[in-house]
Chains A and B, each alone.
Chain A
């Protein structure tokens, strides 16, 4: 199974807003903690190591390509 790169969500704007809203009233360190915990929860839900590694590679590349 591969990482889905094409749009996979119905109302993407609503989902995006929910992710941003999740950080409201949080300090920077609390936001970092939230992000980490979200990663762990979602990684477990996805449950496919190959997909997760692909996601890590894509995210990592987007940071290194400057």
Chain B
């Protein structure tokens, strides 16, 4: 595998730069990181062109996102990039937590079989971007513009006017919609004058990525108060290419300049892994993290996603994953609005659903941050109490919090949700929840949820019972409304509550459940789809 970090993206003077009046594009995406690239690929999968602007000329370097969750892999499968990620990445699902030298906790993120994708893979962000860019280049609908940056923005009644600076002069374009996926230091956020308040954690963490062939299992190891970093925490996790992520909590007062010196970082590495190891550094940096989100994600025709909209502590891998899931939530709605099939208000549901997700992620990661870096004496007393009890008390192990790993959000109160006739049963697949995968005879359930509304009848004997007589009549010759399938495999039916009685599910284009029924009235599917499109 070539070193993808050596790839350079040249600036190409687009035809837009020669035009007198600003050319118009339906969608402009600002930012070609994982979130912007996923949005472009998803729009292309639905037949929409996009222009993607990024000032960088190479893949995101440094040590950025590495843990990609199952839900994210499922989204990437839908976009045709999933296998490349899994093939290059390191699959893992278990983690061990240590206090001093003793293990106090072990977790398994995917204890059941029957899912196509693993709980997590570790893959450097530059690889994630690389595979997305390769797919984008093969796709004629995505116009990637490198070494260009937005220098001005103005919203009018017709659309958005953007000033773009490039090495070959500046130019202007207009857009119907702008997706602001330009990251933690978002230019668009600054240009629109948006406040971005929240919490800064004073604690500092030293990240070292080292290259070292090492025979160890691909488990996430986390230490509280280890001998090699007394009174602090540490993390060890494997990435692709024999690169390992090491993370050392170094405290509020640590000297930045001293910590990042290779000789000092090497001392920490050797203290963790052994004096005799042979390794090279890929990256060393010191960071503090923030916990905050925008008050609103939608500002007229400019819609924020990813780190541009929200930032959180990285323990739990919720930053990159929630950003990709933002794009997944947004694009099917933008598709419907662009196609004139749904009103613009549908985009307000992106804000409602993803702000719910952001708030959950922020709350969960803040609790982890408080456990790893307790504020105040009493918080530390309790934290140390949990760790001390965890060795012998099973309940205390559940309190040990070195990170609650990213899971898909269930939009339980979304205005897009339709009927739920299950009376609280099978909550894992209630309206708002992401679909659960299951093996089918010739593939996987999620492969059938390929970007449009899908109706699935789960019926153990494969027949359409009387309770659902009207379904096929409602969907006959209505491919544009929703696709229909009957699933009878045992695991799938069990997961969706159809072991005995059949069940009908409507899935949204983003694979989240929209509605589910135990019996059917004519017109119910149409009504539920209208509701999911905000056509009330």
A41 at the interface (CB under 8 A from B): yes
- Min CB gap B396→A, angstroms: 7
Identify which of B385, B393, B395 contacts A36 (C-beta below 8 A).
B385
The answer on a CB contact under 8 Å between A40 and B389 is: yes
In the complex, chain B residues 382-425 whose Cβ is within 8 Å of any chain A Cβ: 382, 384-386, 388-389, 393, 395-396, 399
Given the complex of chains A and B, what is the CA–CA distance between A44 and B394 in angstroms? 11
Identify which of A29, A32, A37 contacts B389 (C-beta below 8 A).
A37
Chain B contact surface mostly: helix
When C-beta atoms are compared, the residue in chain A nearest to B389 turns out to be A37
A-B contact pairs, 11 of them (CB 8 A): A29-B381, A32-B381, A36-B378, A37-B385, A37-B388, A37-B389, A40-B382, A40-B386, A40-B396, A40-B399, A41-B393
Q: How many residues of B contact A (CB 8 A)?
A: 13
A15 at the interface (CB under 8 A from B): no
Q: Which residues of chain A have C-beta atoms less than 8 A from B382's C-beta?
A: 36, 39-40
When C-beta atoms are compared, the residue in chain A nearest to B377 turns out to be A32
Q: Which residues of chain B have C-beta atoms less than 8 A from A36's C-beta?
A: 378, 381-382, 385
- Min CB gap A56→B, angstroms: 13
Identify which of A33, A39, A41, A44 contacts B384 (C-beta below 8 A).
A33
Give a binary string over A26-53; 1 marks a CB under 8 Å from any B CB, 0 the rest. 0001001100110111001000000000
Q: Which residues of chain A have C-beta atoms less than 8 A from B384's C-beta?
A: 33
Supplied contacts A33-B384, A40-B385, 7 more A-B pairs, CB within 8 Å: A29-B381, A36-B378, A36-B382, A40-B389, A40-B396, A41-B389, A41-B393
Q: Show the binding face of A for B, using Cβ within 8 Å.
A: 29, 32-33, 36-37, 39-41, 44
Q: Which residues of chain B have C-beta atoms less than 8 A from A39's C-beta?
A: 382
Q: Which residues of chain B have C-beta atoms less than 8 A from A44's C-beta?
A: 395-396
When C-beta atoms are compared, the residue in chain A nearest to B384 turns out to be A33
- Min CB gap B487→A, angstroms: 38
When C-beta atoms are compared, the residue in chain A nearest to B393 turns out to be A41
A-B CB proximity, top 10 nearest? A36-B385, A44-B395, A37-B385, A36-B382, A36-B381, A32-B381, A33-B381, A40-B385, A37-B389, A33-B385
- Min CB gap B96→A, angstroms: 22
Q: Which residues of chain A have C-beta atoms less than 8 A from B389's C-beta?
A: 37, 40-41
When C-beta atoms are compared, the residue in chain B nearest to A47 turns out to be B395
Given the complex of chains A and B, what is the CA–CA distance between A32 and B377 in angstroms? 10
Given the complex of chains A and B, what is the CA–CA distance between A29 and B378 in angstroms? 10
Q: Which residues of chain B have C-beta atoms less than 8 A from A37's C-beta?
A: 385, 388-389
Given the complex of chains A and B, what is the CA–CA distance between A36 and B389 in angstroms? 11
Given the complex of chains A and B, what is the CA–CA distance between A35 and B325 in angstroms? 43
Give a binary string over B496-508; 1 marks a CB under 8 Å from any A CB, 0 the rest. 0000000000000
When C-beta atoms are compared, the residue in chain B nearest to A35 turns out to be B381
In the complex, chain B residues 358-396 whose Cβ is within 8 Å of any chain A Cβ: 377-378, 381-382, 384-386, 388-389, 393, 395-396
When C-beta atoms are compared, the residue in chain B nearest to A44 turns out to be B395
- Point out which of B381, B386, B388, B396 has the most chain A C-beta atoms below 10 A from its C-beta: B381
Q: Which residues of chain B have C-beta atoms less than 8 A from A29's C-beta?
A: 381
Given the complex of chains A and B, what is the CA–CA distance between A36 and B396 in angstroms? 12
When C-beta atoms are compared, the residue in chain A nearest to B394 turns out to be A44
Given the complex of chains A and B, what is the CA–CA distance between A44 and B398 in angstroms? 11
- Point out which of B378, B384, B385 has the most chain A C-beta atoms below 10 A from its C-beta: B385
Q: Which residues of chain B have C-beta atoms less than 8 A from A33's C-beta?
A: 381, 384-385, 388
When C-beta atoms are compared, the residue in chain B nearest to A38 turns out to be B385
- Min CB gap B414→A, angstroms: 25
Q: Which residues of chain A have C-beta atoms less than 8 A from B395's C-beta?
A: 44
- Min CB gap A37→B, angstroms: 4
Q: Which residues of chain A have C-beta atoms less than 8 A from B381's C-beta?
A: 29, 32-33, 36
- Min CB gap A49→B, angstroms: 14
- Min CB gap A17→B, angstroms: 23
Q: Which residues of chain A have C-beta atoms less than 8 A from B377's C-beta?
A: 32
When C-beta atoms are compared, the residue in chain B nearest to A37 turns out to be B385
Q: Which residues of chain B have C-beta atoms less than 8 A from A41's C-beta?
A: 389, 393
- Min CB gap A36→B, angstroms: 4
When C-beta atoms are compared, the residue in chain A nearest to B383 turns out to be A36
Given the complex of chains A and B, what is the CA–CA distance between A27 and B77 in angstroms? 58
- Min CB gap B374→A, angstroms: 11
In the complex, chain B residues 429-448 whose Cβ is within 8 Å of any chain A Cβ: none
Given the complex of chains A and B, what is the CA–CA distance between A33 and B382 in angstroms? 7
Given the complex of chains A and B, what is the CA–CA distance between A37 and B396 in angstroms? 10
When C-beta atoms are compared, the residue in chain B nearest to A29 turns out to be B381
- Min CB gap A20→B, angstroms: 19
Given the complex of chains A and B, what is the CA–CA distance between A6 and B453 in angstroms? 58
- Min CB gap B387→A, angstroms: 11
When C-beta atoms are compared, the residue in chain A nearest to B395 turns out to be A44
Q: Which residues of chain A have C-beta atoms less than 8 A from B393's C-beta?
A: 41
- Point out which of A29, A36, A41, A44 has the most chain B C-beta atoms below 10 A from its C-beta: A36
